[in-house]
Structures are given as C-alpha cells and as structure tokens.
Structure 1
Amino acid sequence: MEPTASFVDAMRAQPENLDLALETVRRDLAAAALPRWGAEDSVAVVAMGASLNSAHTLVAALAAAGRPAASFVASDVADGLSVVRADHSIVVSESGRSPEPLAAARTLAAGTRVGISNFPQQPIRDEVDAVLGLGGFPDSPVYTGGFTATILAYALLLDAVGALDASAEAERIPSRAAEALRDYAEVAETVGRVLAGATTIDVVGRGGSLTAAAELSLMVREGLRTPSSAFETFQYLHGPMEVLSSDDALVVFGDGRELSIPSSVLDAGVPVVLITSADPGSVPGAGRANLTVVQLPSGLGVFERAVVETVIGQLAIAAAIQHKPYPLEDFLYHQDDTKLPVR
C-alpha cells in the first residue's frame, strides 16, 4: 500500500517533502533528457480532481510568457469529449493509478507525454514517454504535499525545457512553504472559524490564484463536508454571487478586481476573507468586522504564490475541522473505480 499521513502531519511535512521533490524531479529530468520546447509550442495539462486544480498555475505562467497552454479534464479526453492537439502534454496523477489520466494518455501522440506522479513506478509509467517522480512521500487523503509538489514540478519542468526561467523560483518553494506554515497559523484560526460557520462557501480567484481557489473549494467539500464552488473572478460577477447571504462565506484570492468584490457583499452581512498582496489601505471595506484580510508578501513568483496561497487554505481547513464533530480524513463515500490496484 502507498504510505499515507494525517492531513495535519502531511501539511506540516511539506517543507521537507518539497525539498525531496526538488531533488527527485531534478534527478528524473536529468535522466529523461527532454528536448527543448519551441517558443510557439503548445502545452496541455491532462488530469483529474486536485491534480487538475494545480494546472491553473502552469497555464497562467505560460500565458504570461506568451506561450499557449490549456488544461483538460482527463475523462473528457479519454472519452473523446475533448481533443488535445498540443505539442507537449503533461499527464498528472499523484497516485499514478487514476484510470482517467492513464486512458487519456493513450490518446495523446507518442513522444509528447510527460507524467508527474508521487509514485512513478505505478501504471502511469506505462502510458507516458517520461515520468517525473515527486519522492514517494506519505500524503493525506485530502491531498496536501503532493499538490504543492506538483506545482514545484511544473516550475522545474518548464525551466528544464527552456519554456520559462523558473529554477530559482522552484528552489525557494520549500522555504516559502515553511514560512507560510509559521506566519499564517494565527490568522488561519480566524479564517477557520469563518469556514466552519458557513452553510456554503464560494471561493474566487483568477490566473495562478485560481489554483488555490479551486483547491480550497475541493478541500472544503472533501474535508469539511460543506457545499463549495470555485469561480474565476470575472465569471463570478456574472451571476454566481447572487446566492450569497450572511449564512455563507466568501473567500477571494487576488490583487485586482478581487479587492472590490468584498465591498459589494459586506453590507449583507456576508463573512469575507480576502487573501492579497495589495496594500491594505487600497481595500474598500478594510476594517469591517466581517472582512478578514490575509496579507501576502509582495513579489512572489506565480509558482511560489500558488504554494503560499494553498498552504494558507490548508491551515484554514485544519483550523476549521476543530469546530466540526467529525474527523477530516474520513470520506463518507467511496468509489471503487477511481484508482487502479497498487503494483
């Protein structure tokens, strides 16, 4: 069986596990000797669940450099509901045993497929042309370390193939995770109380921050058993926010239009958490009792920021579960076909 850990233990082990991933991915990249990617080459990420959430960071980083990239739901690709015609495909499965990414990989052109997995010896190895391992460390059922390590692997991969200059940023990610675990523990208690008291939770972000938004929403559903949805910032303004009431909560990641979203719902009594690197003085509604502002450091790279934002969400989930009458790790519903047998 693959090693597992409790959510809190896996969360707190991330700095060490990210160091391991840094070493392991670099080793596997050296062994793979991947060719350089052309400046106009397109990139597809194919994944399911949490792994698909991680892809927003890679797509945003490449888009900022003018490079075409998109993410695809693996089951859609496998069943012909989406067609991938990319120069390079990244197939992500932390377990290496999720059947949908493996089936999708079989539809992709040979020679274009790079896999990312915490357990590269699993069936994913048979379906891709090269696989990058994260280190095989224990992870929690609600993914923690494997998720942030995947973001680190994206940075190293894109640097190795000449798509982005991201190696130095990747090297900083383990220490960024350690700092986040230390620096945001106190405010996470406040955010956790907001999450625990909400009937439903909307989470909003865009670009690289949509990674943390989508992942927090999934953790809320899996761990807190609370209805939650994630939205791209401007899409959220086109109707989805109309259901908010004082019984709900809104979590917003970002520094742009995100700053003014809270002011439109604070008067309705909606508890809002804003996670931003913007100057607190530029936030309309700052100082309101139902607005919690979580201040990010300025100057973070897209991969660093995605990891820091994700760790803040993890800390909030760990705090919120203390207000619930059930454990974080126990899933109510089990599906027998979401993983192939362990080799």
Structure 2
Amino acid sequence: MEPKASFVDAMRAQPENLAIARDTVLRDLAAADLEPWGADDSVAVLAMGASLNSAHTLVAALAAAGRPATAFVASDVADGLAVVRADRTIVVSESGRSPEPLAAARTLTSGTSVGISNFPEQPIKDTVDAVLGLGGFPDSPVYTSGFTATILAYALLLDSVGALDAADEATRIPSRAEEALGGYAAIAETIGRVLADATTIDVVGRGGSLTAASELSLMVREGLRTPSTAFETFQYLHGPMEVLSSDDALVVFGDGRELSIPSSVLDAGVRVVLVTSASPDSVPGAGHDNLTIVPLPAGLGIFERAVVETVIGQLAIAAAIQHKPYPLEDFLYHQDDTKLPVR
C-alpha cells in the first residue's frame, strides 16, 4: 500500500520531501534522455483533481515564454469530450493509478508523453514514453508534499527539455517551502479563524496563482467540509462574487486587479485575505478590519511563488481545522473507482 501521513506531518516534511523529489526527478530525467522540445511545440497536461490544479502554473509559465500549452480534464479526453493533438503531453497522477489520466493517455495518437508520479512503478508507466518519479514519500489524503513536488517536477522537466530556464528556481524550492512554513505560521492562525468561521469560501487568482487558489478551494472542501469554489480573477468579476455576504470569506492571490477586489466587499462584512507581493500602500482596502494582507517576497519565480502560495494555504487549513469538531484526514464519501489496484 502507498505510505500515508497526516496532513500536518506531510506539510511539515515538505522541505525534505521536495529535496528528495528534486534528486529523483533529476535522476529519472537523466535516464530518460528526453529530446529537446521545439520552440513551437504544443504542450498538453492530462490530470484530475489536485494534479489538474497544479497544471495552471505550468501553463502560465509556458504562456509567458510564448509557448502554447493547455491543461485538460483527463476524463474529458478519455471519453472523447476533448481531443488532444499536442506535440508533447504530460500525464500527472501522484498515485500513478488514477484511471482517467491513464485512459486519456491511451487516446494519444501523436507526439511524445511524460508521466509525473510519486509512484512511477504503478500503471502510469505503461501509458507514457517516460515517467518521472517524485520519490515515493508518504503523503496525506488531502495532498500536500506530492502537490508541491509536482510543481517542482514541472520546473525540472521544462528546464531539461530546453523549454524554460527553470533549474535555479527548482533548486530554491525546498528552501522556499521551509521559509514559508516558518514565516507564515503566525498569520496562518488568523487566516484559519477566517476560514473556520465562513459559511462559504471563494478563492480567486490567475496565471500561476490559480494553482494555489484552486488547490486551497479543494482543500477547503476536502478538509474543512465547507463549500468553496476557485475562480480566475476576471471571471470572478463577471457575476460569481454577487453571492458574497458577511457569512462568507474571500481569499485572493495576486498583484494586479486582485488588489482592488477586496475594497468592493469589505464594508459588506466579507472577511478577505489578500496574498500579494504588492506594497500594502497599493491596496485600496489596506487597514480595514475585515482585510488580512499576507505579504509575499518580491522577485519569486513562477514555480517558487506557486509553492509558497500553496504552503500558505496549507498552513491556513491546518489552523482552521483546530476550530472544527472533526478531523482533517477523514473523508465522508469514498469512491471505489478513482484509483486502480495497487501493483
């Protein structure tokens, strides 16, 4: 069976696990000897759940470099609701046993494919041209280490094939996670109280920050059992925010249009958390009792920032669960078809 850890233990082990993942991915990349990717090569990511959330960072990083990339819901591809015709495909499954990404990979008729998994010996290896392992470390049922390690693997993969210069970022990610675990522990207690008291929680971000926004929303649903949805920043402005009330919370990641979103809802009693590298002086609602600003270091690369933002969300979940009458790790509903049998 796959080794499991508690949420807090797996969260705290991330610096060590990320270092393991870096070494393991580099080893597997050397063994795979992948050919360089062309400047115009299109990239597709096939994944489900948390793994799909991680793909926003990869897509945003490639887009910033002018490279075409799309993340697909793997079940859509497997069932013919979406068609992939990419030059390069990345299949992501932390367990290596998620049936939808594996079925989607079998529909591919062109290009080359690379898998990313914490357990590369599982069925994922039969569906891709090469698979990159993360190290087989214990992870929590609400994914922590495996999620951030996948982001690290993206950076190393894209650097290895010449798509992006991301090796330095990948080297820094374990220490960035360690700094975030220590540096944001105190403010996470405040965020946790906000999340625990909310009836519903909206989470907003765009580009690489949509990774942390989407993953925090999923952790809220899985761990806190609270209704939550993630939105791309500008999409959020086109109607979804109209349901907010003083019973709800809003978490926003970003440095652009995200800065002015809080000011429109703070006086309505909505508790808002803004995670940003922008100066508080540039935030219209700064100083409002209902606004908590979480400052990010300036100059983070896109993969580093995604990991730091994700760790902040993890810390907030760990703090919020202390105010709930149930454990974080126990899921209420179990589905028998979301994983293939362990080899």
Normalised TM-score (structure 1): 1.00
Deviation at 1:329, TM superposition (A): 0.1
Deviation at 1:111, TM superposition (A): 5.3
Q: How does 1:78-157 map to 2 (within 5 A)?
A: 78-109=78-109, 112-157=112-157
Cα distance in 2 between the residues matched to 1:285 and 1:72: 36
How big is each residue's C-alpha offset from its partner over 1:137-183, in whole Å with a ceiling of 9 and x where there is no partner? 00000000000000000000000000000001000000000000000
C-alpha RMSD of matched pairs (Å) = 0.5
Give the equivalent residue in structure 2 for 1:220.
220
Deviation at 1:109, TM superposition (A): 3.0
**Quick one: which amino acid aligns to residue 283 of structure 1?**
V
Q: SS of the counterpart of 2:202?
A: strand
Q: SS of the counterpart of 1:72?
A: strand
Cα distance in 2 between the residues matched to 1:274 and 1:169: 24
Q: Say whether the 8 Å CA contact 1:244–1:270 is kept in structure 2.
A: yes
Q: SS of the counterpart of 2:274?
A: strand
Deviation at 1:98, TM superposition (A): 0.3
Deviation at 1:110, TM superposition (A): 5.9
**Quick one: which amino acid aligns to residue 242 of structure 1?**
E
Give the equivalent residue in structure 1 for 2:250.
250
Q: Say whether the 8 Å CA contact 1:203–1:229 is kept in structure 2.
A: yes
**Quick one: which amino acid aligns to residue 7 of structure 1?**
F
Q: Which runs of 4+ in 1 moved over 6 A?
A: none
Normalised TM-score (structure 2): 1.00
Deviation at 1:36, TM superposition (A): 0.2
Give the equivalent residue in structure 1 for 2:176.
176
Give the equivalent residue in structure 1 for 2:320.
320
**Quick one: which amino acid aligns to residue 155 of structure 1?**
A
Q: SS of the counterpart of 2:340?
A: coil
Cα distance in 1 between the residues matched to 2:63 and 2:52: 17
Percent identity, aligned pairs only?
A: 87
Q: SS of the counterpart of 2:273?
A: strand
Q: Say whether the 8 Å CA contact 2:87–2:111 is kept in structure 1.
A: no
**Quick one: which amino acid aligns to residue 65 of structure 2?**
A
Cα distance in 2 between the residues matched to 1:52 and 1:162: 23
How big is each residue's C-alpha offset from its partner over 1:289-325, in whole Å with a ceiling of 9 and x where there is no partner? 1000000000000000000000000000000000000
Cα distance in 1 between the residues matched to 2:205 and 2:81: 26
Q: Say whether the 8 Å CA contact 1:111–1:129 is kept in structure 2.
A: no
Cα distance in 1 between the residues matched to 2:178 and 2:217: 23
Cα distance in 2 between the residues matched to 1:262 and 1:342: 46
Cα distance in 2 between the residues matched to 1:191 and 1:129: 43
**Quick one: which amino acid aligns to residue 214 of structure 2?**
A
Deviation at 1:108, TM superposition (A): 1.1
Q: SS of the counterpart of 1:203?
A: strand
List gaps (5 residues or longer) in structure 1. Answer: none
List gaps (5 residues or longer) in structure 2. Answer: none
How many equivalent pairs are there? 343
Cα distance in 1 between the residues matched to 2:306 and 2:83: 28
Q: SS of the counterpart of 1:241?
A: helix
**Quick one: which amino acid aligns to residue 30 of structure 2?**
A
